[in-house]
Structure 1
Amino acid sequence: MNGELYQICCLALAAKKALKEGSTISYVPDKYIKRIEFQFLPEKKLFHESAPKADNVGSWFEQCLKRGLQDVMLYVPVSVKDRNLLGFSNMSRSLLVCFFKNRSPGCFTPRWEFDSAQKVWHVLYTEYEWKDLPKDKPRFTDNSNDFKAVLTEIEKLARMIACDGFAGIFQKAFSVLEGDRDTIKNPVLPQIPEKNRRLFEAACIADVFGGMGSWNDSPPYMAHEKGLDNEYERLSGELLTQIRLAILYAVNEW
């Protein structure tokens, strides 16, 4: 899983945990993140409008609480038109949706900027009002069985086109869904139910879509050489869908 999607998942998990426990938010960014800021929508004051800004995660969460924060959810599309774009920043199209008491939900979208001098990233989450958001919050279901099915199929495909390294990745993700804790990749996560954790970990492992060296790079050509273009496209699209569905369930349903 790329850093952009992983970060917004962890922010949502940390915020939900803090809300459930009535505690302050606990979130430590990765070392390659220099700064995380949050730009809120303008608010009407007596004689003017102001657009509050939080310069860290803790300050953002405190301001959200003052606004009556009741829940936080992650939204991410389950399919994309071009999987090759997933190797670039700002292409996850993910949303951090905050539900407030007595006000419309706020949707925070991230924008990543790379500081080439310091070799670090600056991330700005900007709030937008989602006026057409459905009245009822969406519900997500456990897709473990469908996820395991596509992992089994795509592992076979990977071995057929001599991509044993990727086959091993898909096998590892399958093992996590089966309950193998020895394959856990991200040991430091908020305490969430075991089923959710397995789905999230498996999604992290199985997300092989990126740039050079990814499942988007050589495998499509290797599949083409064996006349398996359609199988590659079908299974790759289904894998991405199941990864995203697993993320949506793991982060939101607990």
Structure 2
Amino acid sequence: MNGELAALIALCLHGNDWLASGTERPPALDRDNSAFRYVENVHVTCAQRRLLGTRKWEADGVAEWLRFVKDSGGRRLSLVVGGAQPADLPAPVAASFANGGRWALVDDALTPHLWQSHWAVHDRNRTDQRIWAVQLTGVPLDRSGVVQPPSSSARDDLRAALDAIKGFAERDVDIAEWASWFTEALGLLDAPEPAIPYNPDLAPEGLPLESRQLLAAAVKSWVFGGMGSWNDLAYSDAARGAEYDQRTDELYRSVLAALIAVTGGPLSVRV
């Protein structure tokens, strides 16, 4: 699973759990959650509109950020996809590089904020492996820029994409081992007790079963890494290569749609 995306999902789901709980102390996810296991610090800045212009708010840590969201009138966070593609690469390939994804969070304050993260290596020699410094930046967002999701089922779309890419893998002896990977992802869609791969604490315990199933399956379906991943395949046969690109793009889109559906948020934003 992409670490930057996993961190945003943890912020969204655990943040929503805290915002709805009414408890005083927000969770320090950057210290306690496995999605931040390689993060040294999280620094947050936000441009705030004022009558005589704008000013910048800034703080350190997830807990302070969540307090700011709540104090600004936010009651829910959502995962969104939007903005310009950061590289001249297909989206599934670009997502394998640091800061290569187009995902962000948005809150539901009266003046919503779009929250984008940027990861940079701060100290690669740390013995505890917390080598990353994360900058979380908020900008005011016009509500007209929020695009609502279509009525199609994210669960059905993910199942169909997994079935199709699994069939593609089964027809090629050189990549047949990937079929079992996709089979495991399909199984999580119906698992009675779905375990979220890699980051079992990615969601709070109270997440409904259907949402946990969809989240676990989407995380398992993330095969868009670098060397040795599904992205590392190449075909000299043009027809086979075209089908590979099609199935990869379908899976990538359905995984992101599934992750967005888990948060109950809008499909995308125009920025």
Into which bin does the TM-score normalised by the smaller protein fall?
Answer: 0.7 to 0.9
SS at match of 1:216: helix
Give the counterpart letter for 1:10 in structure 2.
Answer: A
**Residue pair 1:86, 1:211 contacting (<8 A) in 2 also:** no
Q: Which of 56, 75, 87 is the matching residue for 1:70?
A: 75
Give the counterpart letter for 2:59 in structure 1.
Answer: A
Q: Report the more deviating stretch, 104-113 or 18-27.
A: 18-27
2:133 is aligned with 1:122: yes
Q: Where does residue 84 of structure 1 map in the other structure? A: 93
Q: Where does residue 9 of structure 1 map in the other structure? A: 9
Gaps of 5+ in 2: 266-271
| Separation (CA, whole Å) in 1 of partners of 2:9 and 2:189 | 19
Give the counterpart letter for 1:89 in structure 2.
Answer: A
Shift in alpha-carbon separation, 1:22–1:137, aligned structure 2, 3 A: farther
Q: Deviation string for 1:27-51 (max 9, x for gaps)?
A: 22432110112101145499x9642
**Residue pair 2:43, 2:60 contacting (<8 A) in 1 also:** yes
Give the counterpart letter for 1:151 in structure 2.
Answer: L
Q: Where does residue 31 of structure 1 map in the other structure? A: 37
Q: Where does residue 138 of structure 1 map in the other structure? A: 148
- The TM-score with structure 1 as length reference comes to 0.86
Shift in alpha-carbon separation, 1:226–1:50, aligned structure 2, 3 A: closer
SS at match of 1:51: strand
| Separation (CA, whole Å) in 2 of partners of 1:232 and 1:20 | 43
| Separation (CA, whole Å) in 2 of partners of 1:136 and 1:130 | 9
Give the counterpart letter for 1:87 in structure 2.
Answer: S
| Separation (CA, whole Å) in 2 of partners of 1:231 and 1:107 | 35
Q: Which of 216, 228, 242 is the matching residue for 1:213?
A: 228
The alpha-carbon deviation at position 57 of structure 1 amounts to 0.6
Q: Where does residue 187 of structure 1 map in the other structure? A: 200
Q: Where does residue 108 of structure 2 map in the other structure? A: 99
Query: How big is the alpha-carbon RMSD for the aligned residues of Structure 1 and Structure 2?
Result: 2.7
Q: Report the more deviating stretch, 165-174 or 153-162.
A: 153-162
SS at match of 1:92: coil
Gaps of 5+ in 1: none
- The TM-score with structure 2 as length reference comes to 0.81
**Residue pair 1:140, 1:252 contacting (<8 A) in 2 also:** no
Shift in alpha-carbon separation, 1:231–1:49, aligned structure 2, 3 A: closer
SS at match of 2:44: strand
Q: Report the more deviating stretch, 201-210 or 18-27.
A: 18-27
Shift in alpha-carbon separation, 1:84–1:139, aligned structure 2, 3 A: closer
The alpha-carbon deviation at position 56 of structure 1 amounts to 0.4
Give the counterpart letter for 2:9 in structure 1.
Answer: C
The alpha-carbon deviation at position 231 of structure 1 amounts to 1.5
Percent of residue pairs bearing the same amino acid type:
25
| Separation (CA, whole Å) in 1 of partners of 2:55 and 2:238 | 60
Give the counterpart letter for 2:21 in structure 1.
Answer: E
Q: Report the more deviating stretch, 19-28 or 4-13.
A: 19-28
**Residue pair 2:48, 2:56 contacting (<8 A) in 1 also:** yes
Q: Where does residue 66 of structure 2 map in the other structure? A: 61
Q: Where does residue 189 of structure 2 map in the other structure? A: 177
Shift in alpha-carbon separation, 1:182–1:65, aligned structure 2, 3 A: closer
| Separation (CA, whole Å) in 1 of partners of 2:150 and 2:190 | 20
